[in-house]
Amino acid sequence: MERANSDGNASELEAPRTKLGFTLAAASMSLGAFILIFVYILSQSLTPPAPLTTQSSTASTVSNAAAQAATAQATQPLTPTALAATATPVANAQQYIDNVQLATGVNATTGTPIDQSTTFHLGQPVYVTLTVHTLAYNGAVCLTWTVNNQAIPYATTVGSSILGQTNAYFFFKPEATGNGSVDVAWSATTACANTVQIQQADFKVLP
More confident residue, 41 or 89: 41
pLDDT surpassing 60 at residue 64: no
Q: Are strands 126-133 and 140-147 parallel, antiparallel or unpaired?
A: unpaired
Name the helix (H) or strand (E) containing 52. helix 50-75
pLDDT surpassing 80 at residue 33: no
For residue 149, give the 3-state DSSP assignment.
coil
CB 19 within 8 A of CB 12: no
CB 168 within 8 A of CB 107: no
pLDDT-derived band at 125, boundaries 50, 70, 90: very high
Q: Is 110 exposed, middle or buried (0-12, 13-18, 19+ CB in 10 A)?
A: exposed
CA distance 184 to 97: 9
pLDDT-derived band at 25, boundaries 50, 70, 90: low
**pTM of the entire predicted model:** 0.55
Closest CA to 195 of 207, 183, 206: 183
pLDDT surpassing 90 at residue 187: yes
Model pLDDT for residues 67-83, shown as the tens digit of each residue: 333 333 333 333 222 22
Q: Looking at 70-74, 93-97, 111-115, 156-160, which range is the least confident one?
A: 70-74
pLDDT surpassing 60 at residue 109: yes
pLDDT surpassing 60 at residue 53: no
Q: Across the chain, what does the average pLDDT equal? A: 72
More confident residue, 84 or 173: 173
SS3 for 167-207 is: EEEEEECCCCCEEEEEEEEEECCCCCCCCEEEEEEEEEEEC
Q: Is 167 exposed, middle or buried (0-12, 13-18, 19+ CB in 10 A)?
A: middle
CB 192 within 8 A of CB 156: no
pLDDT surpassing 60 at residue 63: no
Closest CA to 156 of 132, 174, 180: 132
More confident residue, 146 or 72: 146
